[in-house]
Amino acid sequence: MKKIHYIGLVLAVFVLLCRWSVPVAEFYARVCYPAISAGLSFLASAFPFSLEELAVLLFAGLLLLVLVKALVQKKGLGWWLGKTALILVWLVVWLYMGWGNNYFRKPLLERVGIQRQLFSESRFNQFLYAYTDSLNASYSRAPLPEKPLIEADIKAYYTRVLPEYGYAPLRAWQHPKRPLFNRLYSAVGVSGFLGPFFCETHVNQDVLENDYPFTLAHELAHLAGVTSEAEANYWAYRYCIHSVDPAVRYSGYYAVFPHVATNVRSFMVEDYYGYWMRTVDERVRADYLTQRNHWDALRVDWVDRIQSWLMDTSLKHNRVSSGAQEYSEVVSLIITMEANGVL
């Protein structure tokens, strides 16, 4: 083994310690991750294109190269297994040391000592009435501010709010990038993502104007170290609804509308969904229909099914028990934070 391989094994042990020990994961999130994300994203900022997708292609190419070499040069099963294992170890180390170890720290509510509000029909109704009134009142057709201004405003807000919850500061050089394979992400309905290899945020170029502020705020929350999809939705919602800009404010209320609808379908009697929908401003419902038609036209079903399975499996592997359904848990988080006066 070469010296660099021993370094890889040490880092792999640290990754396992983060998975097994919450204090070690907390140390990573509070001490290591801010420096690591700053360094990786600073390196990536020198390139106008996404390094994340190139890193994925690099690892895929290396795995294929090793397989081809083993077959052509008849290296044997042992050689192939050893080289493949070495590549996979570095893949896992880079993925988790770059960002993924944040999964294993204490969840937000445990860190701040808040008990999650259990579902009750009266509590949910109280939230639903207030949310629907705010959603209808926030409807706006005002043009969005320029995208760099939205980005700067999100960073300023997160700089004021997120550090007290144990998250990393956002840096001036951390700007969202356009995905290299944008059409692929549209085919599976992915509006944005954070890459764990270089801590790069990406926003799909097919995102509609209404969705842009919320989508960017969601991805920048991930960049600060938020791993929970529900919590990233919560911070994006919280930023948007407190904005002085009417278009940004509407983006926040509008973005959680599908998740609220999912909760109404899940927890209320069947007839209630239709009644509630009729209380929503028809212009909001029209925007929602436009959004669904937009993404349905871009979606490729078989690719979407594969991506959904991969996302669900990945989240569950990283101790997100609800998997991809976690996105809609933002409603429970909003209700809990509101009940404790921190929204």
In the prediction, which pLDDT does 41 show? 97
Looking at the structure, tell me whether residues 132 and 268 fall in a common domain.
yes
Residue 313 lies in a domain: yes
Half-sphere exposure of 248 (CA within 13 A, CB side): 20
Q: Cite the beta strand spans of 56-208 per DSSP E.
A: 192-195, 200-203
On whether the CB atoms of residues 171 and 35 are closer than 8 A, the answer is: no
| Cα–Cα distance for residue pair 343/339, rounded to 1 Å | 9
Map tokens 């109704």 to a residue.
125
Does the pLDDT at position 321 exceed 90? no
Are residues 147 and 183 located together in one domain of the fold? yes
Percent of the chain predicted with pLDDT > 70 = 94
In a domain, 110, yes or no: no
Give the range of the structural domain holding residue 78, as residue numbers without chain letter: 3-104
Confirm whether 333 is domain-assigned. Answer: yes
Q: Are residues 79 and 137 in the same domain?
A: no
The answer to whether residues 83 and 222 belong to one domain is: no
pLDDT surpasses 70 at 218: yes
Same domain, 198 and 312: yes
Domain boundary among 104, 131, 156: 104
- Contacts for 308-315: CB closer than 8 Å, 24+ residues apart: 308/188, 315/229
Pair 261, 288 in one domain: yes
Same structural domain, 204 and 297: yes
pLDDT at 324: 41
Where do we find the tokens 């983060």? Answer: 18
Within this chain, do residues 37 and 82 fall inside the same structural domain, yes or no? Answer: yes
Q: How far is CA 218 from CA 35, 75, 112, 251, in A?
A: 21, 47, 21, 12
Looking at the structure, tell me whether residues 124 and 273 fall in a common domain: yes
Measure Cα distances from 152 to 67, 98, 145, 227 in Å: 46, 24, 11, 22
Label residue 317 by pLDDT band (50, 70, 90).
Answer: low
Q: Are residues 99 and 161 part of one domain?
A: no
Question: What's the whole-number average pLDDT of the chain?
Answer: 91
Q: Which of 42, 70, 104 is the last residue of a domain?
A: 104
pTM value is 0.92
